[in-house]
C-alpha cells in the first residue's frame, strides 16, 4: 500500500505537469486567454481530485497514520489553491478522527491543531464549532481536565472575536 500511495502522489503531480504542458501547447496554438485560464483551472482541479481520492482511499484502507499525515499536508497545500477545500478537508479530518480513532490523545492534539489552523485564516465560527465539538466529546469520555482547558481556550477565542 505504501507503493500505491507513492504512486498516487507521483501520478497526481505527473498529471498536473502533463496538463500544464498541454495548456502551454494549446495556448500557443489558439492564443486565447480565456482558454488558458480555463485549462489552468482544470489542471488544478484534476490535481486536487487525485489528492482527495488518495486521502479517502487511505482512510478506507485503514492506514490511519499515513492518512493523518497526508490530510494535514493536503489541507496546508490546498490552502494555496482553494481555501474552502482546505477547510472541508480539515473538518473531514477532525470528524473522522473523533469518530474512528481509538487513540484519544492523537485525536485531541490534531483537533486542537486544526482549530488553531482554522483560526489563523479568520474563520472563527468553524474554529469555535470544532472546539465545542471536541470539548463535548471529551466531557462524554470523562476527560474533565482537557475539557476545562478547551473551555478556557474557547472563552479566550470568543473574547478576541467580540473585542474586534
- Judge whether residue 39 has pLDDT over 50: no
Q: Which of these, 108, 60, 55, 95, lies nearest to 77 by C-alpha position?
A: 55
Residues 6+ positions from 97 with CB-CB distance below 8 Å: 68, 106, 107, 110, 111
Rounded CA separation 115/157 (Å): 10
- Judge whether residue 67 has pLDDT over 50: yes
pLDDT grade for 154, boundaries at 50, 70 and 90 = low
**Residue 42 has what pLDDT?**
45
**Residue 100 has what pLDDT?**
56
Task: Determine the average pLDDT of the residues in 66-76.
Answer: 54
pTM summary value: 0.26
Amino acid at each position: 500500500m505504501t507503493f500505491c500511495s507513492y504512486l498516487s502522489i507521483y501520478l497526481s503531480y505527473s498529471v498536473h505537469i502533463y496538463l500544464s504542458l498541454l495548456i502551454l501547447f494549446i495556448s500557443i496554438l489558439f492564443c486565447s486567454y480565456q482558454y488558458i485560464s480555463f485549462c489552468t483551472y482544470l489542471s488544478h482541479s484534476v490535481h486536487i481530485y487525485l489528492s482527495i481520492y488518495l486521502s479517502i482511499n487511505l482512510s478506507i484502507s485503514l492506514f490511519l497514520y499515513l492518512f493523518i499525515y497526508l490530510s494535514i499536508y493536503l489541507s496546508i497545500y490546498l490552502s494555496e489553491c482553494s481555501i474552502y477545500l482546505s477547510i472541508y478537508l480539515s473538518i473531514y479530518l477532525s470528524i473522522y478522527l473523533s469518530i474512528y480513532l481509538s487513540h484519544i490523545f492523537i485525536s485531541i492534539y490534531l483537533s486542537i491543531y486544526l482549530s488553531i489552523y482554522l483560526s489563523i485564516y479568520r474563520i472563527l465560527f468553524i474554529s469555535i464549532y470544532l472546539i465545542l465539538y471536541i470539548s463535548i466529546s471529551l466531557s462524554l469520555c470523562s476527560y474533565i481536565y482537557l475539557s476545562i482547558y478547551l473551555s478556557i481556550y474557547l472563552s479566550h477565542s470568543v473574547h478576541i472575536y467580540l473585542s474586534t
